[in-house]
Amino acid sequence: MELWDLYDRDRLPTGEIHERGKPLPPGRYHLVVHVVIFNPQGEMLIQQRQPFKEGWPNLWDVTVGGSATAGDTSRSAAEREVLEEIGLRIDLSQEQPRLTIPFDVGFDDIYTLVMDVDLSTLRLQESEVQAVKWASKDEVLAMLAEGRFIPYHKAFLELLFVLKDARGAHVSKLGK
């Protein structure tokens, strides 16, 4: 059983704990994290979901994503998810999310990292991930168009490629 901390509309902790799979009470939200890793060549590390996964089986996705569990901070949840899903230990102590997207029942913190990762050293979580690979922006967008990638908005995936290079940049300076 997975338990989540709940937050109010302003993302303040309510002190309430919620069991995953049950409907959230009105006005309550939970935290989701995504970590998107790029290599120095600008390729995104993507993962293919297992065929037996509920929700988007066999489709490719960004590096890692998942729900924060009770007691997690955004950073600790992101570090844990990366370690669980692909067996890579990362340190986000000096990082903050590059983007936070509110959705109907929560907040999604998205971290981007640029690092060299030898794919042969990764330990994939058998219950979640069947494969990983590096993919260029054009490859990711082609997979999306062909229905082989989770159906994110194209502009969102394009933005991830912009954000990878945006360390310390204010949003008004992106793309300049």
pLDDT digits (tens, 9 = 90+) for 141-162: 999 999 999 999 999 999 999 9
Beta-carbon neighbour count of residue 34 at 10 Å?
Answer: 22
Which residue do the tokens 């640029």 mark? 114
pTM assigned to the model: 0.92
Match domain 3-166 to its CATH number in 3.30.365.10, 3.90.79.10, 3.40.50.10860, 3.50.50.60: 3.90.79.10
- Helices 154-163 and 137-145: crossing angle in degrees, nearest 10, is 170
With 0-12 / 13-18 / 19 or more C-beta atoms within 10 angstroms meaning exposed / middle / buried, residue 109 is buried
16-70 pLDDT, tens digit per residue, is: 999 999 999 999 999 999 999 999 999 999 999 999 998 899 999 999 999 999 9
